Amino acid sequence: MRVSGDRAHVDIDVVVTQQGKGAEEDHNVNQLGESRQNQQPGQSTGNSRMTKAASHMRVPLSWLDREEPPLISYLHGTLKRKLLDRVVVDVAGVGYEVFLPEFVMRTMEDLPEGEPIELDIYYHVTDRQLKPILIGFNNSHERRFFEKFISVEDIGPQKAARALNMSVSTIARAIEHEDVALLRKMPGIGDRTAKKMVATLRGKLAEEALLRDDGYAPLGPVHPSGPSSEVRADSIDILISLKHSRADAASKVDAALKRKPEVETVDDLILEIYRGEQAGVNGR
C-alpha cells in the first residue's frame, strides 16, 4: 500500500495478489469504489491462477479520524532507555518512544534499564500532527483521568502531559475542592485554565480523588517549561508542508515564540502564527 497526498486528502494505492478462483476473491477488494486493474490478455483463468487487483482512492483525511479503538492501547516489554520526559520500550525487538507525565516518570526513578515494564497508552494523532504520540501511564485509572483532563477547553494531550506534575489523586481533590491556587502550580496552567478545569470536571472525579497513589504535590511555585525543541521542529515541518520555505517557516515560528513564549504545544504555536499573520494583514 502507498499513501500520499496533501494536508486535506490522501491518495491510497493498494495492490493485492492472491491465489483462488478470481472474481469471487476480488470482490472485497473493490469496496468503497476502487477500480480493479483489468485482467491482462492471455492470463490463465484456472482455479490455481494468481489474481491481482489494484485500486486507487483519493479520500479526505477526516476518514482517518473516525472514532475507532486506538492503534496502541497497551505496551508490555523491556525498558530500553530512560530519558528526561520519555522512555523507550522494547517490545519484541521494536522500540516504542513513550512520553510520560512527570507523576508517571517519578514511579520509574528506581526502575533500571533492561527490566520489564508495562504501560497503559494514550495514542494521539491528528490531521495537523501526523506523527503519532504515545503517552504512557501506570494503569487504566490514570489513563481515564487523562482522557477526562483533556476534555477541558484549551488543554490538549501534549499540554496535559507536560502539566501533570502532581499525582492524579492530588489533582482530582484540588478540582473537587476548587483549589485553584494548587492547580496553578501545574506547568502551563494559569488562573483562567485552572478555573476552567474546576468548571468542567468538578463532580466527575470522585474515583480519582480516592485513588491510592503517592499523593505528591509540589511545595513551591512551578515555572512554566515553555515549548520543547520538538514542538518548534514539528511546527516548522507543518509550515513547510503548507508550501512555506524552510527559512520562512523558521522565521514565523520564532516570531510567534517571541510574542508568546509560554506556548507548549504544536497546535497552540500554529494558532499563534496564524494570529500573527492575521494581525499583519489587518494592520496593513
Could you say which of 63, 89, 106 is where a domain stops?
A: 63
Is 178 within a domain?
A: yes
Among residues 136, 153, 269, 164, the alpha carbon closest in space to that of 201 is found at 153
Is 35 within a domain?
A: yes
Q: Are residues 115 and 39 in the same domain?
A: no
Q: Are residues 260 and 156 in the same domain?
A: no
Is 223 within a domain?
A: no
Is 218 within a domain?
A: no
Q: What is the pLDDT of residues 245-262, one digit of tens each?
A: 888 888 999 898 888 887
User: Residue 9, class by beta-carbon neighbours within 10 Å (0-12 exposed, 13-18 middle, 19+ buried)?
Assistant: middle
Interatomic CA distance for residues 18 and 30, integer angstroms: 14
The pTM of the full predicted model, rounded to 2 decimals, is 0.54
Q: How far from each other are the two terminal CA atoms of the chain, in whole angstroms? A: 47
Residue whose C-alpha cell is 522512555: 87
Q: Are residues 84 and 201 in the same domain?
A: yes
Q: What is the pLDDT of residues 8-39, one digit of tens each?
A: 454 544 444 444 444 443 444 344 344 444 44
Is 270 within a domain?
A: yes
Q: Are residues 79 and 152 in the same domain?
A: yes
Q: Are residues 56 and 85 in the same domain?
A: no
Could you tell me the CATH number of the domain that includes residue 255? 1.10.8
pLDDT tier at 45, thresholds 50, 70, 90: very low
Q: Are residues 89 and 187 in the same domain?
A: yes
CA distances (Å), origin 234, targets 50, 239, 269:
44, 9, 10
Q: Are residues 273 and 240 in the same domain?
A: yes
Interatomic CA distance for residues 63 and 170, integer angstroms: 38
Q: Are residues 94 and 203 in the same domain?
A: yes
Q: Are residues 199 and 92 in the same domain?
A: yes
Phi, psi of 248 (to 5 degrees): -65, -40
**Domain containing 248: what range?**
229-282
Looking at residue 29, what is its pLDDT? 36
* Mean predicted lDDT score pLDDT of the chain: 76
Q: What is the pLDDT of residues 57-86, one digit of tens each?
A: 444 454 455 455 558 899 999 999 998 889
Report whether pLDDT(104) > 70.
yes
* H/E element, 156: none
Q: Are residues 202 and 248 in the same domain?
A: no
Is 216 within a domain?
A: no
Could you say which of 38, 63, 88 is where a domain stops?
A: 63
Question: What is the tally of structural domains in the chain?
Answer: 3
> Comparing 1 with 209, which gets the higher pLDDT?
209
Is 103 within a domain?
A: yes
Could you tell me the CATH number of the domain that includes residue 205? 2.40.50.140
Among residues 217, 179, 224, the alpha carbon closest in space to that of 197 is found at 179
The H helix count followed by the E strand count for the chain is 11, 8
Is 260 within a domain?
A: yes
Interatomic CA distance for residues 181 and 192, integer angstroms: 11
Q: What is the pLDDT of residues 161-205, one digit of tens each?
A: 999 999 899 999 999 999 999 998 888 888 889 999 999 999 999
In sequence order, the β-bridge partners of residue 136 are 121
